[in-house]
A and B are shown apart, each in its own frame.
Chain A
Amino acid sequence: MILDSRIPDGPIEQKWDNRKRDLKLVNPANKRKHNVIVVGTGLAGASAAASLGEMGYNVQSFCIQDSPRRAHSIAAQGGINAAKNYPNDGDSVWRLFYDTVKGGDYRSREANVHRLAQLSNNIIDQCVAQGVPFARDYGGLLANRSFGGAQVSRTFYARGQTGQQLLLGAYSALMRQVSAGKVDLHPRFEMHDLVMVDGQARGIVGRDLVTGEIQRYVGDAVILATGGYGAVFYLSTNAINSNVTAAWRCHKRGALFANPCYTQIHPTCIPVSGDHQSKLTLMSESLRNDGRVWVPKEKGDRRSPDQIPEDDRDYYLERRYPSFGNLVPRDVASRNAKQVCDEGRGVGSTGLSVYLDFSDAINRMGEDVIRERYGNLFEMYERITGENPYKVPMRIYPAVHYTMGGLWVDYDLMSNVPGLFVLGEANFSDHGANRLGASALMQGLCDGYFVAPYTIGDYIASQDLAPIDTSHEAFDQSEKDVTDTITKLLSIQGKKTVREYHRELGLLMWEYVGMARNETGLAKVLEEIPKLREDFWQNVSVPGRADQFNKNLEMAGRLADFFELGELMARDALDRAESCGGHFREESQTDEGEALRKDDEFSYTAAWEYNGAGQSATLHKEELSFENVKLTQRSYK
C-alpha cells in the first residue's frame, strides 16, 4: 500500500492556496442533494457540521452525550493559540508553525502544520463574532498569555473555561443550522460500524442509547470527529464516555491507524487518591506561568511544605532548564516529575506528587491577581482535595491527557478509505509526537471550520457516488455484525465487571506503555493484554438487556475495542525504538537523560493496517521530509 499524503506543490506558504485553487466545487443548487454524516460534536465535529449546514449540505450529526454541548472539548481549560501577534512580541504564522513542528519533536507533517498556523487567526475572528467571551483588557481588546513552552504570548483564553466557551460557540452555530433545517441531531447515539459500498464510506450503523435500537444512516461522506483514546489507560483526564470505538471500527474496515503510541501525559493533574478513582482531573498548565514546581532536596523528607526552608527545596525545572524553567513542554515536565518521584522525593501520602507553589506569585502580585487568573481552578482543586491552594502548595502528578495518534489522514483530512474524513483529536495529523498547550482547540476548530468543509466538497464533486439507501446489503451485514457483538457481550454472564477489566487494562498500559517504555516491558505487555482480552470474552458480566438504556453494555463494547487498541499501541511503541515527544524509550536517551530521536531510522509516520482479530497489524510507513524546518535535538535548557 502506498500512502499518498497528497501534499500540494509549491512553497509551504502557498500550499493551502494552491490546494484551494484546485479544489472542485459542488454547485450551490446541488449541495442540498448531498448528505454528510458527522459523528461527534466536539470542537471539530460541531464546527464541521455547522459549516457544512451553512454551505447547504444536509447534515446528520451524532453524539453519545444527551446534548451536543457536552462533548469533552468542553473540559479544555487553558486556551487556544493563534498567530495574531496582538501583543507585538514578534509572533508570526511562521513562528507558530515552527514551534508546533519543533514541539511535536519533528514527527508531524510540515504542510499540515503550516496550514494550521495560517488558519489560526481566522478561528479567533470567527469565535469572537459568535460571541465567545474571550478575556479582554481595559481597552476592550483581546488579552493574550504565554502558555506551555511558548516564548510569545499567543494564547487566547476565557478564564479557565476556554474549551467550554469555544464549544458553546460551535454548538450555537450548530443549533442555528438545526433550526434552519440543515442539520438533524442524533444525541445519545453510538456509532458501531462504518458501512462501505464499492470501496467508499457510505454510512454508519449504530445504537440508539435510549431504546437500544440498531439504526442505519446513509451519506455521501462520513466525518469522524470522535476524539482521542486516552481512556484506554482507564484513569485519564478524558471523560467517562470518551472512547475509541468509532475510530477503531473504521480501522477494522480498513482505515489505517497512525502513531498509536504517541500519548501525551499532562504534567499538572490532581494526584490519584485511591482504587475507587474513576478519573483524573487536570489543572490547566497555565498554572505553571505563576506556580513554581518543587520537591524536597532530600528523599523521604516528610515535613509539611511550610516547614521546608528554601535551601532544602529543589525547584528542579528551574534548575535543569534555566531558560524555560517551569514552562518546559508537557512531556519534559511530566518525565521530570516521574523522575523525582522515582528518586523517592515525591510528596503527599502516596509519594506520587510534586508541589506547585504559588506563594511567590501571591507575595509579588497579591492574592487578588492570582484569584483573577486562576480562581476557578483553585476552587476546583480545593473541592477535590479539601486543601486551600492559596495557603498550601498544590500537589500535582502527571496523567494521560491527549493522544496525538489517530486515524491516518492525507492533507485533505481524508483517511485511506475514500469518503471517510477524520478531524480533530481522532486523526493523527498535526501534533507529531507531542502536542503543545493550547493547540488542540486550534486544531479541532481549524479542521472543522476551515479545512474539511472545503475538501469534502472536492471529494463529493469528483466522485461517482452510487444512489443507494439503507436497504443496501452492506447495511444488512453491518447490522448483523453489530447485533452479534452485543448479543455475545450480554450472553457471557461471567464473574467480573467491565470496570474491573478496564482498571486492569489501564494498570498494564500505565505500567508498560506509559511515561517511559522499554523493550522488555513492551514484549511482556504484548503477552498480557491478549490474555486479559481472552479472559474478558469468557468471564465478563454485563447486566441488563440490549433493548434498554444500559451504560454497562456501552462500556463493555468500548472496552472490547480498547483491548485491541492497547495491543496496537504497545506494538507501535515497540517498533519505534527511539524517543520522541511523548514517546520515551528508555533505551534511547541522551547522556543527560533527555529524549533521543533517531531521525535516520524513524523519521516516519507509522500507519497500521488491521489484519483481523488476533493477527498482527501490518506497518506502512509515510516518510516525513522536512524542507522548511531544520531538525535539531529539542533543548529547553
Chain B
Amino acid sequence: MADLTLNLHIWRQEGPGKPGKLVPYKAENVNPDMSFLEMIDVVNEDLILKGEDPIEFDSDCREGICGMCSLVINGVAHGPQHGTATCQLHMRHYRDGDTITIEPWRSSAFPIVKDLVVDRSSFDRIIQAGGFISISTGNAPDANALPVGKVDSDIAMDAAACIGCGACVAACPNASASLFTGAKITQFASLPQGAPERKMRVLRMVDQMDKEGFGNCSNHGECEAVCPKQISISTIALMKREYAKAALTAS
C-alpha cells in the first residue's frame, strides 16, 4: 500500500477553561502500517522543527491495555475499529486524501488539561467510593478455600477487563459513567469475595458517579459500541438491579 496524505482537523486548547478550536493540519507520507498515534507523532515532529507547539495527547502502553489514550476520531470515541483503543488503530484503515477530525473526550466530569488531554480523576474517585474488597494485606485465606464456579468467574473477568479509558462517557449523549461503574460492580457482585460489601458498594459508587457530574443511563448503548474491551451493557442492567435491591433493603 502506498503512503497516504491526510487532512487533519485537531482540537487545540491552551489549558483548562481556555477557548479551544479545531485547527487544520496536513499529514504527509503516512505509512499504512503506522498506528494512529504514530501518525500524530510524525505530525508533531514537523511542528517542533517548524517552531510550533506540538499537539498534546495522552498515551502510554500503546498496546491497548493501560487506558491512557483517549481520542474522538471523526466523532467516534477511539475511532472506527470495533473493540480497539486509539493506540491500536492503524492507518491501513484510511484512504489517501481522507479528512479526519480529532477531538478529546468531552464531558464536564473530564475537564480538558491541554489540547486532547483530559483529567479523568473522577474515575478514581468512583473506585475510592467502593470499588474494592476490604481485605488488608496478610488477612487472606488459602486461595482455593473458596471455589468460584467457572461461569461466575468468567462473568467477573469479562467485566474486570475494563481499562478505565472513559470512551463510554465520551460516547454517551448523557456523558454517563454507567458502563465503567457497572463493570466494576458486576465484577465484585459475581464473586463470593464481593458479597459482604455488595449493597454498600453499589450505593456509594452510584452516588459518587452522580456527584462527579456524570449523567444517567438512558439505554442508548453508545458506550458498549465504542468500548475497546467490549464490556457488555448488561453490566449496567445488573448495576441498576443491584442498586434497586440495595436501596430498597438498606436500613
Chain A residues within CB distance 8 Å of chain B:
47, 50-51, 54, 65-70, 72, 74-75, 84, 86, 121-122, 124-142, 158-159, 161, 163-165, 168, 171-173, 175-176, 178-179, 185, 187, 210, 239-241, 273-274, 276-279, 281-282, 379-380, 383-384, 386, 449-450, 453, 495, 497, 499-500, 541, 543-544, 548-552
> Which of A125, A277, A281 meets B143, CB within 8 Å?
A125
A433 shortest CB reach to chain B, Å: 26
> Which of B42, B66, B131, B143 meets A128, CB within 8 Å?
B143
Instruction: Tell me whether B124 and A453 are in contact (CB under 8 A).
Output: no
Chain B, residues 138-170, CB within 8 Å of chain A (1/0): the string is: 111111101111100100110011011000000
> Which of B14, B38, B137 meets A278, CB within 8 Å?
B38
Query: CA separation between A239 and B63, bound complex, in Å?
Result: 9
What are 13 A-to-B residue pairs whose CB atoms are below 8 Å? Answer: A51-B136, A65-B68, A66-B58, A69-B124, A72-B60, A86-B144, A125-B142, A129-B141, A130-B135, A131-B133, A136-B148, A497-B45, A551-B56
Which of chain A's residues has its CB closest to B85's CB?
A383
Q: In the assembled complex, which residues on chain B have CB atoms less than 8 Å from the CB atom of A187?
A: 121, 124
Query: CA separation between A72 and B134, bound complex, in Å?
Result: 25
Query: CA separation between A281 and B141, bound complex, in Å?
Result: 36
> Which of B15, B66, B92, B127 meets A175, CB within 8 Å?
B127
Instruction: Tell me whether A84 and B143 are in contact (CB under 8 A).
Output: yes
Q: In the assembled complex, which residues on chain B have CB atoms less than 8 Å from the CB atom of A548?
A: 14-15, 114
Q: In the assembled complex, which residues on chain A have CB atoms less than 8 Å from the CB atom of B15?
A: 548-549
Interface size on B, residues (CB 8 A): 79
Instruction: Tell me whether A133 and B191 are in contact (CB under 8 A).
Output: yes
Q: In the assembled complex, which residues on chain A have CB atoms less than 8 Å from the CB atom of B193?
A: 128-131
Chain B, residues 188-209, CB within 8 Å of chain A (1/0): the string is: 1001011000000000000000
Query: CA separation between A545 and B62, bound complex, in Å?
Result: 26
Q: In the assembled complex, which residues on chain B have CB atoms less than 8 Å from the CB atom of A497?
A: 45, 48-49
Which of chain A's residues has its CB closest to B134's CB?
A176
A444 shortest CB reach to chain B, Å: 14
Instruction: Tell me whether B60 and A65 are in contact (CB under 8 A).
Output: yes
Query: CA separation between A106 and B63, bound complex, in Å?
Result: 33
Query: CA separation between A511 and B79, bound complex, in Å?
Result: 37
Q: In the assembled complex, which residues on chain A have CB atoms less than 8 Å from the CB atom of B90?
A: 383-384, 386
> Which of A127, A240, A383 meets B88, CB within 8 Å?
A383
- Taking CB atoms and an 8 Å cut-off, the chain B residues in 32-58 that contact chain A are 33-35, 37-39, 41-42, 45, 47-49, 51-54, 56, 58
Instruction: Tell me whether B31 and A172 are in contact (CB under 8 A).
Output: no
Report how many A-B pairs have Cβ atoms within 8 Å: 228
With A66-B68, A277-B38 in contact, is A179–B128 under 8 Å at CB?
yes
Q: In the assembled complex, which residues on chain A have CB atoms less than 8 Å from the CB atom of B210?
A: none
Instruction: Tell me whether A69 and B41 are in contact (CB under 8 A).
Output: no
Instruction: Tell me whether B54 and A551 are in contact (CB under 8 A).
Output: yes
Which of chain B's residues has its CB closest to A124's CB?
B143
> Is B117 part of the binding interface, using a Cβ–Cβ cutoff of 8 Å?
yes
Q: In the assembled complex, which residues on chain A have CB atoms less than 8 Å from the CB atom of B60?
A: 65, 70, 72, 239-241
Instruction: Tell me whether B62 and A179 are in contact (CB under 8 A).
Output: no
Instruction: Tell me whether A140 and B42 are in contact (CB under 8 A).
Output: no
With A129-B140, A133-B160 in contact, is A171–B67 under 8 Å at CB?
no
Q: In the assembled complex, which residues on chain A have CB atoms less than 8 Å from the CB atom of B39?
A: 276
Q: In the assembled complex, which residues on chain A have CB atoms less than 8 Å from the CB atom of B140?
A: 122, 125-126, 128-129
Instruction: Tell me whether A161 and B67 are in contact (CB under 8 A).
Output: no
Instruction: Tell me whether B81 and A383 are in contact (CB under 8 A).
Output: yes
Query: CA separation between A206 and B225, bound complex, in Å?
Result: 40
> Is B59 part of the binding interface, using a Cβ–Cβ cutoff of 8 Å?
yes
Interface centre among B14, B51, B61, B160 (most CB of A within 10 A): B61
> Is B9 part of the binding interface, using a Cβ–Cβ cutoff of 8 Å?
no
With A140-B148, A161-B161, A276-B38 in contact, is A133–B65 under 8 Å at CB?
no
With A140-B148, A179-B128, A240-B60 in contact, is A499–B34 under 8 Å at CB?
no
Q: In the assembled complex, which residues on chain B have CB atoms less than 8 Å from the CB atom of A65?
A: 60, 66, 68
> Which of B65, B132, B137, B187 meets A161, CB within 8 Å?
B65
> Is B64 part of the binding interface, using a Cβ–Cβ cutoff of 8 Å?
yes
Nearest 3 Cβ contacts at the A-B interface: A140-B147, A172-B132, A129-B140
- Taking CB atoms and an 8 Å cut-off, the chain B residues in 75-113 that contact chain A are 81, 83-84, 88, 90, 92, 113
Instruction: Tell me whether B66 and A278 are in contact (CB under 8 A).
Output: no
> Which of A70, A135, A173, A383 meets B67, CB within 8 Å?
A70
Q: Given contacts A131-B193, A276-B42, A497-B48, list 17 more A-B pairs with CB under 8 A.
A: A54-B136, A67-B121, A67-B124, A86-B144, A122-B138, A124-B143, A131-B187, A136-B147, A140-B148, A164-B65, A173-B132, A239-B60, A273-B33, A274-B31, A278-B35, A541-B48, A543-B54
